[in-house]
Amino acid sequence: MTSVPATPPMVANDDRIVTLGKIVGTFGVKGWIKVNSFTEPLSNILDYEVWQVSSACGWSAMRVEDGRETGKGIQAKLAGLDNPEDARLRIGAQIGVHRSEMPAPQAGEFYWSDLEGLEASNVEGEVLGRIDHFRTTPAGTVVVIQGRQEQWVPFVKERIVKVDIAAGRVVIDWPVDW
């Protein structure tokens, strides 16, 4: 979550699945998985009792039986994965939860997923495009905007002027031609 000047938050579609991590490996002989968590802190992904796990057939609910944070990341035991072979079949799967299960952000804070798809314009009112996604780089987080050209804008308070989820718009202090 990031704090920015804003109007009161509103979520348009609470049934959508928000990706919180990815299965990246297996651990041990009882079907435990290694997880690349996208939450902050990493262990927040373990706050959810049921994960939606992606596959070629769509999303399926899997109950989290146990989980822990280690020095190397997150490990979890999901119901139905009882051996390394079962767990190995899930490597690469996305982990998500329904947006309605996530805690409401504080005033002035937003989940990145709530901003994706919104129109981005600059302070002069020129449309930059739509927020496609966010990317974490060594220099910090950037918002990737798809418009006439792809633009990567630092996602910092100094650049984000206003967020209006109800109007579907974010105002960014950024020239249209950068």
What pLDDT, in 10s, does the model give residues 140-166? Answer: 889 999 999 999 999 998 999 999 988
pTM of the model: 0.74
Domain(s) of CATH 2.30.30.240: residues in the chain = 116-172
Domain(s) of CATH 2.40.30.60: residues in the chain = 17-101
Output the CATH code of domain 116-172.
2.30.30.240
| 105 cis-preceded (ω within 30 degrees of 0) | no
What tens digit of pLDDT does each residue of 57-94 get? 999 999 999 999 999 999 999 999 999 999 999 999 99
- State the sign of the Cα–Cα–Cα–Cα dihedral 55, 79, 75, 141: positive
Output the CATH code of domain 17-101.
2.40.30.60
What is the token pair recorded at 139?
């220099």
Give the closest residue to 75 by CA, choosing from 23, 20, 19: 23
Q: Tell how strand 150-154 and strand 50-55 pair up.
A: unpaired
